[in-house]
Copies of this chain bind each other. A is one copy, B any other.
Amino acid sequence: MQPKDIAKDTAKVVQNFLTYKAVQLVIAQLAETNPSESIWLRQYSSGGKLRDAEVYLRDIMSEPRGKELALRIMTVRDSMAEQTLEFLPEIIASGVKKDNLAHRRHLLERLTQSPDETINLDPSEANSETEDSD
């Protein structure tokens, strides 16, 4: 698995997710301005149809009321991409590191927790013990 392939697969996942978010936003906007259209779009988009965003968009365009909705969804996802992408690498990198650290801490706590009586038996090892124990 090459980094470029992983990046490509990840980008596809993000594109699907942004499309899903765009559809959600358009549904919410339409609920204010055109409730029946909002309900139609909500129903049309259910049942896992959004798993592949490009198939979804292609399909919705063949619906009589779907053409304008598709154009609107595409505009929204494009603007979402523009607004969010700059933050993304930093948020992901720090998220992975933060959660990895939390898991390692949790594991260390569990590994040092059980037999309390084995800790600090030998004072010469106290420093290294206190660093590892919880």
Known A-B contacts A58-B103, A70-B103; the reply to A1 vs B21 at CB < 8 A is: yes
Q: Which residue of B lies closest to A100 (CB)?
A: B74
A115 to chain B, nearest CB (A): 16
Chain A interface mostly helix, strand, loop or mixed?
helix
A-B contact pairs, 28 of them (CB 8 A): A1-B21, A3-B80, A3-B87, A6-B83, A7-B84, A9-B17, A10-B14, A10-B88, A11-B91, A11-B92, A13-B13, A15-B92, A15-B95, A18-B92, A54-B99, A57-B99, A58-B103, A61-B106, A61-B110, A67-B107, A74-B103, A77-B100, A78-B100, A81-B92, A81-B93, A85-B89, A85-B93, A88-B88
